[in-house]
Structure formats: structure tokens, C-alpha cells
């Protein structure tokens, strides 16, 4: 089946089959390449056997969950399964997918907006109003019994929110000064960024806490550590210290390693820290370093470098896209003093990190030069309050100001 | 306008018919000398004599059958079955004869009989004397089932019944006889069959009932108003013919609906009403269509326990809060 390779992924293109029909497959072996909004990712086989039948041809764009092929044993009778799939496929009306393998190479700009009407817990009239007003119900928190979205929720949403039309459905406006303006078609990644950031801005009520962190001790320790690691060819960055500090702080503040679900909050058992990676101006992805609570500072450092390399080479694993539970966005290398970031769903917080700069500060009654860094935590107010955010940010600050505990 | 009890309104309607139509006779257990088990025919024997007010043996199948025969032969009999529980003895006569004869004789015969009976629990009379079978009879084509909740409807529907040429089951709730209400003086005032009445106009939720459950719904509506929920209350008045359109239109307006009846919820007539609502007002619904009926047990003899098995206003308030998340 077409796997869900990202929180926001709704469809994917089967770029290439890496196995032919009849070829043997081991469990976990890469069998096809899938193009998502963000990258081309190898898909591993869910089971062992023989690739008996290819259902989805190369180049085809299909919704998540679509059956791509059948893996079975050599002599298994799969004809009934094929019939079932063909019947099922025929019964699904798919106007937006009618572009076949040849046509689909042309990106149409008027995709039907997926309003999530099927499985969402909403009353019939709520669904009807959402359809009429082109509102995505997944952006609305239900206030009815068991979190059901009722009529009032959709009406309130539609009144309170400035309507954010799907960029892809906006009519094309003729350029005013046609000689000088350039119209750029959005890449799939640009569309994905547009969709998730606007959804987060509308849905999650953000608040921000900013703190100044004295990085002098961390910077000293970093120099010493890098000297020691020189022989191994490893180098720890400032960002690695921040990642480690966040991982430790999240262990003590699990409410920030969480997902808000309307009437419940899911606390994640693993701390998977997403790192915002700039793809040289072509877009942004936020893959995660998995299970940071188990990693040492050096392991985090190695993991991050590996992640960035693979991100730029389109070689990320699916769980690295979907798995982040908290995010760090660092613009320190651009000499940005401080900024605020938009929370990446389904996370409930993100840390925006500025540059480390020599700053005159008052210390023990005297003005001294310290290496200061500003960080701003964006928090989804539905899941956490200001004081909790302050305590969490305070722990990150303490850990970085007395970094010896990061080595323990 | 005169203020009458529901008992007085029915009594008035029967006297009118006896006065105006010599074909009208009344027969049943204790309708004459005893003045009626629920005193509806009090004084009738003295005023109209024993050729028109006939006390019968305790044999429902016998006297209902006699009534059907009399109707086929040209009289307009009103047969009183003391309670709907005893109608089971006559159910073959009612379902297989009264309801079918016009159809099976190719229109040669009709059976314009009015069967008056007393329905409902809540009087502490035990499991076999406290049942509500009107919804069950309303499933039978060929019958008309009338369920008045107020004195004006009781009179208006009875006048219409005397003009109707079909077998009619006229169900009087045992606990409603003393309900008082204004009744128009106009002798031409009638209430048509198959036309529900909106007893209270509201905008937030539709409460549908018949007979005593209308009163339960009205009490719940009063309490809901204090909780900022404006309920509309619809009295079906007749189960067959059924005016489902009024209910559907109301639900399309309020987006929420609860159907309340005192018969057992399982397979109850109200579940059919709920089905029609969800089918015809689906895209207007802001929650499931609810159906409240009696608990799935024989009526307990102890009155306090019996009342716990029949839907009351608290059931409605709880359902509104739990299923729609309003009025809390």
C-alpha cells in the first residue's frame, strides 16, 4: 500500500519499482521509490515473499492506502485478491486521480481540496456546512460529545478565521505588470509548507516565551570536547548542545513532548526532536532524530550530521518525517539575534534559536562580556500554559549554562 | 371556550354523537350500570337506555367481534375495551377482521367501528395491566390509531372519528383523564387525522411525543429553557395516519430531535419515527436522532419502581446534555 510518509501526506507518486514481478523479496528490503511532497524515499517491503503482481504502475500518483502490489508465496492463488482490488478501485470515484500515468506529469493547479469528510467525527450538518464553505474539518476542534464537531464549531470557525483558501485552488490572477513580474508555480514542497504552516497558525493558539542563555560555559566545553574528538574526525556544534539540553528538559517536562487531540493529549514515549533543515532555498523539511533520550551528546551530533546529509540527498526514512515530537529551528548561523517559529503539527511546541554573540551583561555587580544566546519557545496554548512553558525554558537555560550535566 | 378535563371532553363527544346519530351505540364492560371503569360514560345508561348503552360479558373477542359485525351491518358502534392490555384477547378481531374486511371484500364491506381503550402505565397496576400497545396497532394497515394528549384534541379527534368510515383505535392514557384545557365552543370544531400539532415553538431541539409523553416533553422544555435551550414540542396526535412531515420540517429547523414514547423502546413505534427523521432530515442533523422509550422490562408492580421504567423529563434533560452537549 501507499504508505503515510508524513504527517500531512495524502498522496504519493510511485516513481520506480526496484523489483520486478516474480522477484523474491526479503522483509525490509527496498522494493520501490515513492515521491512525497518533500522527497523521494525508498519503500521497504512489509513482508517476505515474491512480488507476484504490480498494481500501481511507475509514475502514477495515488492516495495513501492505495494498493501498490501483491506480495505472496510462489504458488499462492492471488486471482481473487486481484479481482477484489479491481472492483474496489473501480468503485472509488476518483475525478482528481483521473490523470493517468502520462497526464499526471502535468501538475494541475486545481486539485480537489480534501475536506476530510469521511472519517472525521462530525455531525451531518457540520459536514454539509464545511462542504459548502470549503472548510477542512481536520482544522476544527469539536466541542460536542466525545469531541464531535457540531454545527456551532464550524460556524464559529468560519466566522473567526480569515478564510484561508487552498493556495492551489485560487484563481490565477493576470500579472499587473506582465513585463517585469515573474509567476512561479509552487513546488510540491512549497505547497506542503504553505498548507501545514497556515493550518498550524489557524488551529493552534500560539504563545511565546523568550529567554537569554549564557552560553559561555557551553562554548568552553565545546572547544575542549572538539579537541578531544579531533582524532575521531567528529565535531560537536552549538546546535548539538541545544538538542541534548532539550532532550534532557523534555524528559522532565513530558507535556511539551506531546500532541493535542481535541479532548485528549498524547504524551509520546520517545523524544524525537525534529530539526528544521533548509534545503538551500528550495524548501524546508523538519525530519527527526529518533529517541534522543537514549543518545549521548556525541551520538546526537553524529545523528544530526547524518540526518542533514540524507535530507539533502533525498534519503530520509519515512518515520523520520512522521516521527517528530518536538522541533528546533536554529537561525544562529545567519546571525539572527532572535525570532519566533510556527509550531510544526502534530507537535505542541517549537524552539527558535538565535545566534551566540558576545554581549555586555551585568554579572556580580560588574559589566562583563558573556556569550549570550536568545531562544524563543512557541507553545500551543491548548496543551500548555505560560508558567509551564517558563519552567521548561528555564530548565533548558540552566542545562546550557551548567552544561556538565549534558555529558552525564 | 370552556375549560374541560380530558374525561369530560370525550364524554361530551360521545353524548353529541348519541344525540345526533341514531346509529351510534356504546358497548363494553361496565359502560352502563357501573358508569364506566374510568367514568367516561357516567350517566349514559340513564340518559340513553339499555338498547344504546350495552353492558357486555367479560369477553373481549366476543363483544369486539359483535361490534365489528354491527358496524358492517350499518351501525356506528363505540366499543370500549377497559384497557389496551385486554385488547390482546380481541386482537384477531381487530387485526384480521376490522382492519382487513374492507380490503378482502373488495370494498363491499366496511367496518366503521370506534374502539375506545385505555393505555399506559404509571398507575401501579402490575405488569399485565400497564402496557402501551398503541404503537403496535399503528403498524397495521387498515387501522387508524388516535392518541389525544389534551381535551381539545380529544374532542376534535373524536368528532372526526365519527365521520370516518374505517376501524379506529382511540387510545386514552390512564393518567391524562384529569388534564384540563380549553376546548372551543364551536360545534363544528374538529381535529383532522394525520396532522401533528406544535404544542410549543422552539429553535434548538425538537421533542416529539404523543399522549402522555407530550406532557413529559413540555415539562422538559420548561427546564431546558432555564438552561438556554429553546425546545420545540410536537404532539403527533394520531400515529396512523402519521404526520411525519411536521416533525421533519421542525428537525430541519432545530437540527436535533428526540422521539419520546412510553412503550418499550425496543422495536417501538418511535424508532420508526426516528428512522424517518434521520432519512429525511439527514443533512440537517447536528447529532443522532434519539429515541426514548420504556426500559426493557415488564412493568414493576411497586409504583415507585414502575415510574423509573417510563421516560420522564430527567431522561430528556440527561439525553440532551449527553448526546448533544447542550443544556448543561
**CATH code at position B102:** 3.40.50.970
Asked if A372 contacts A214 with a C-beta cutoff of 8 angstroms, the reply is yes
In a domain, A115, yes or no: no
Among positive and negative, which fits the CA dihedral B83, B84, B86, B92? positive
B42 touches chain A (CB under 8 A): no
Question: Which residues touch B107 (CB under 8 Å, ≥6 apart)?
Answer: none
Q: What spatial distance separates the first Cα and last Cα of chain B, rounded to whole Å?
A: 39
Indicate the SS3 state at residue A318: helix
Confidence (pLDDT) at B4: 97
A52 and A153 part of one domain: no
Confidence (pLDDT) at A180: 65
ipTM of this model?
0.78
pLDDT band with cut points at 50, 70 and 90 for residue A93:
very low
Confidence (pLDDT) at A27: 79
Q: Which residues of A are catalytic?
A: 381
Residue in chain B nearest A130 by alpha carbon: B283
Confidence (pLDDT) at A192: 82
pTM for this entry: 0.55
Tell me the shortest Cα–Cα distance from A130 to chain B, in angstroms: 12
CATH code of residue B309: 3.40.50.920
Across the interface, do A126 and B287 touch by the CB < 8 Å criterion? no
B179 and B64 part of one domain: yes
Q: Where are the beta strands (DSSP E) in A47-187?
A: 49-54, 61-63, 69-72
**DSSP class per residue in A22-38:** T-EE-TT-EEEEEE-SS
**% of chain B residues with pLDDT over 70:** 100
In a domain, A4, yes or no: no
Number of domains in chain B: 2
pLDDT band with cut points at 50, 70 and 90 for residue A189:
confident
**% of chain A residues with pLDDT over 70:** 85
pLDDT in tens, A253-292: 999 999 998 889 999 999 999 998 888 767 788 889 999 9
Are β-strands A61-63 and A11-17 bridged in parallel, bridged antiparallel, or unpaired? Answer: antiparallel
Span of A138-152, B102-116, B278-292 with lowest mean pLDDT: A138-152
A170 and A64 part of one domain: no
Which residues from chain A sit within 8 angstroms of residue B324, using beta carbons? 144-145, 150
Span of A50-59, A194-203, A270-279, B307-316 with lowest mean pLDDT: A50-59
Please list the residues that pair with B264 across neighbouring strands.
Answer: B294
In a domain, A118, yes or no: no
Q: Is the pLDDT of residue A233 over 60?
A: yes
B314 and B228 part of one domain: yes
Domain boundary among A170, A195, A220: A195
Which residue among B286, B322, B323 sits closest to A125, beta carbon to beta carbon? Answer: B286
Confidence (pLDDT) at A174: 52
B123 and B251 part of one domain: no
Confidence (pLDDT) at B278: 96
Mutate to test the interface with B, among A127, A130, A151, A153 (most CBs of B within 10 A): A151
Own/partner pairs, A365-371, CB within 8 angstroms, 24+ separation = A370/A214, A370/A216, A371/A214, A371/A215, A371/A216, A371/A219
> C-alpha grid cell for residue B153?
384534541
Q: How far, in Å, CA of A60 to CA of B225, rounded?
A: 58
In a domain, B192, yes or no: no
A357 and A239 part of one domain: yes
Mean pLDDT of chain A: 83
In a domain, A402, yes or no: yes
Q: Of the listed B8, B29, B102, B129, which one is catalytic?
A: B129
**DSSP class per residue in B211-254:** THHHHHHHHHHHHHHHTT--EEEEE--EEETT-HHHHHHHHHHH
A214 and A319 part of one domain: yes
The residue range of the domain holding B6 is 2-183
pLDDT band with cut points at 50, 70 and 90 for residue A249:
very high
Helix (H) or strand (E) holding A359: strand A349-363
In a domain, A146, yes or no: yes
pLDDT in tens, B122-139: 999 999 999 999 999 999
A230 and A337 part of one domain: yes
The residue range of the domain holding A308 is 205-407
Asked if A247 contacts A271 with a C-beta cutoff of 8 angstroms, the reply is yes
> C-alpha grid cell for residue A243?
538538542
Q: Is the pLDDT of residue B71 over 50?
A: yes
In a domain, B157, yes or no: yes
Number of domains in chain A: 3
In a domain, A106, yes or no: no
- Name which residue leads in pLDDT, A404 or B138: B138
A220 and A294 part of one domain: yes
Amino acid at each position: 500500500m501507499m504508505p503515510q510518509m508524513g504527517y500531512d501526506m495524502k498522496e504519493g507518486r510511485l516513481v520506480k519499482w526496484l523489483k520486478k514481478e516474480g522477484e523474491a523479496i526479503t522483509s525490509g528490503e527496498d522494493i520501490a521509490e515513492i515521491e512525497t511532497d518533500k522527497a523521494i524515499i525508498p519503500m521497504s517491503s512489509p513482508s517476505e515473499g515474491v512480488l507476484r503482481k504490480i498494481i500501481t504502475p511507475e509514475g502514477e500518483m495515488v492516495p495513501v492506502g492505495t494498493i501498490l502490489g501483491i506480495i505472496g508465496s510462489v504458488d499462492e492463488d492471488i486471482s481473487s485478491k486481484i479481482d477484489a482490488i479491481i472492483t474496489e478501485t473501480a468503485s472509488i470515484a476518483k475525478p482528481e486521480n483521473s490523470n493517468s500515468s502520462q497526464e499526471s506529469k502535468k501538475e494541475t493547479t486545481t486539485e480537489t481540496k480534501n475536506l476530510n469528510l469521511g472519517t472525521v467525527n462530525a455531525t451531518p450538518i457540520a459536514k454539509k456546512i464545511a462542504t459548502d464553505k470549503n472548510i477542512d474539518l481536520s482544522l476544527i476542534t469539536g466541542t460536542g460529545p466525545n469531541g464531535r464537531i457540531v454545527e456551532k464549531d464550524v460556524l464559529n470557525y468560519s466566522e473567526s478565521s480569515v478564510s484561508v483558501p487552498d493556495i492551489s485552488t485560487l484563481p490565477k490572477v493576470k500579472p499587473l505588470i506582465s513585463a517585469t513580474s515573474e509567476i512561479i508555480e509552487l513546488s510540491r514542497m512549497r505547497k506542503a509548507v504553505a498548507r501545514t504552516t497556515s493550518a498550524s497558525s489557524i488551529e493552534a493558539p500560539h504563545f511565546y516565551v523568550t529567554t537569554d542563555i549564557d552560553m559561555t560555559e557551553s562554548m568552553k566545553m565545546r572547544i575542549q570536547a572538539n579537541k578531544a574528538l579531533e582524532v575521531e574526525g567528529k565535531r560537536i556544534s552549538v546546535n548539538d548542545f541545544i538538542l541534548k539540553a532539550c532532550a534532557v528538559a523534555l524528559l522532565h517536562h513530558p507535556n511539551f513532548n506531546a500532541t493535542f487531540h481535541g479532548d485528549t493529549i498524547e504524551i509520546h514515549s520517545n523524544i524525537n526532536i525534529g530539526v528544521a533543515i533548509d534545503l538551500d532555498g528550495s524548501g524546508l523539511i523538519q525530519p527527526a532524530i529518533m529517541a534522543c533520550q537514549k543518545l549521548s551528546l556525541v551520538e546526537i551530533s553524529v545523528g544530526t550530521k547524518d540526518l542533514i546529509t540524507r535530507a539533502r540527498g533525498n534519503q530520509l526514512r519515512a518515520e523520520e518525517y512522521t516521527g517528530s515530537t518536538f522541533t528546533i529551528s536554529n537561525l544562529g548561523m545567519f546571525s539572527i539575534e532572535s525570532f519566533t517559529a510556527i509550531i510544526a503539527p502534530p507537535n505542541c511546541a517549537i524552539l527558535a534559536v538565535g545566534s551566540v554573540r558576545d554581549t555586555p551583561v551585568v554579572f556580580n555587580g560588574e559589566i562583563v562580556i558573556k556569550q549570550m544566546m536568545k531562544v524563543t519557545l512557541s507553545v500551543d496554548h491548548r496543551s500548555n500554559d505560560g508558567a509551564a512553558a517558563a519552567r521548561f525554558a528555564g530548565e533548558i537555560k540552566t542545562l546550557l549554562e551548567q552544561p556538565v550535566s549534558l555529558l552525564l | 371556550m370552556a375549560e374541560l378535563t380530558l374525561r369530560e371532553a370525550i364524554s361530551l363527544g360521545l353524548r353529541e354523537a348519541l344525540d345526533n346519530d341514531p346509529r351510534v351505540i356504546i358497548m363494553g364492560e361496565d359502560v352502563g350500570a357501573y358508569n364506566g371503569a374510568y367514568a367516561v360514560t357516567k350517566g349514559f345508561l340513564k340518559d340513553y337506555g339499555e338498547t344504546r348503552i350495552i353492558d357486555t360479558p367479560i369477553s373481549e373477542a366476543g363483544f369486539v367481534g359483535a361490534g365489528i359485525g354491527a358496524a358492517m351491518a350499518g351501525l356506528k358502534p363505540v366499543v370500549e375495551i377497559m384497557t389496551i392490555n385486554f385488547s390482546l384477547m380481541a386482537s384477531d378481531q381487530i387485526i384480521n377482521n376490522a382492519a382487513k374486511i374492507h380490503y378482502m371484500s373488495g370494498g363491499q364491506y366496511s367496518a366503521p367501528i370506534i374502539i375506545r381503550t385505555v393505555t399506559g402505565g404509571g398507575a401501579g397496576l402490575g405488569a399485565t395491566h400497564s402496557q402501551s400497545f398503541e404503537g403496535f396497532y399503528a403498524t397495521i394497515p387498515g387501522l387508524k390509531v388516535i392518541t389525544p394528549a389534551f381535551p381539545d384534541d380529544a374532542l376534535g379527534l373524536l368528532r372526526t372519528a365519527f365521520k370516518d368510515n374505517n376501524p379506529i383505535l382511540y387510545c386514552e392514557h390512564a393518567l391524562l383523564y384529569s388534564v384540563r384545557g380549553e376546548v372551543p365552543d364551536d360545534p363544528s370544531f374538529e381535529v383532522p387525522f394525520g396532522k401533528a400539532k406544535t404544542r410549543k415553538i422552539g429553535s434548538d431541539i425538537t421533542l416529539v411525543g404523543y399522549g402522555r409523553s407530550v406532557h413529559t416533553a413540555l415539562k422538559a422544555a420548561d427546564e431546558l429553557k432555564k438552561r438556554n435551550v429553546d425546545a420545540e414540542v410536537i404532539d403527533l396526535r394520531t400515529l396512523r395516519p402519521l404526520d411525519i412531515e411536521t416533525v421533519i420540517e421542525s428537525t430541519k429547523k432545530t437540527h436535533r430531535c428526540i422521539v419520546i414514547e412510553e412503550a418499550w423502546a425496543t422495536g417501538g413505534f418511535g424508532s420508526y419515527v426516528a428512522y424517518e427523521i434521520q432519512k429525511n432530515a439527514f443533512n440537517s442533523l447536528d447529532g443522532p436522532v434519539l429515541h426514548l422509550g420504556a426500559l426493557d422490562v415488564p412493568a414493576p408492580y411497586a409504583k415507585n419502581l414502575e415510574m423509573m421504567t417510563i421516560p420522564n423529563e430527567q431522561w430528556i434533560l440527561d439525553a440532551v446534555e449527553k448526546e448533544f452537549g447542550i443544556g448543561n
